[in-house]
Amino acid sequence: MCLLCFAAGWAQTRDRDTLTPKQVEEIREAGIDPAGRIRLYTKYVNEHMESLKALAGRPASPARAQKIDGELQDLTALMDELGSNLDQYSERKADLRKSLKPLNEATQKWLEFLSGLPSERGYELSRKEAMESGKDLADQVAQVLQDQTAYFKLHKDERGQDRAEPKD
CA distance 70 to 16: 8
The pTM score is 0.82
State whether residue 28 is helix, strand or coil.
helix
Q: With left for phi above 0 and alpha for psi between -120 and 50, is residue 16 left, alpha or beta?
A: beta
Which residue from 91, 103, 126, 124 is spatially nearest to 35, judged by alpha carbons?
Answer: 103
Note the pLDDT tens digit of each residue in 65-111. Answer: 999 999 999 999 999 999 999 998 888 778 889 999 999 999 999 99
For 82, counting Cβ atoms within 10 Å of its Cβ (0-12 exposed, 13-18 middle, 19+ buried), the class is: buried
State the CATH architecture for 23-155: Up-down Bundle (1.20)
Q: What pLDDT is attached to residue 163?
A: 61
Q: Where are the domains of the chain?
A: 23-155
CA distance 28 to 90: 19
- Cα–Cα distances (Å) from 77 to 51, 82, 130, 138, in that order, read 15, 9, 9, 15
Note the pLDDT tens digit of each residue in 21-32. Answer: 999 999 998 877
CA distance 46 to 32: 22
Note the pLDDT tens digit of each residue in 5-23. Answer: 333 343 344 356 889 899 9
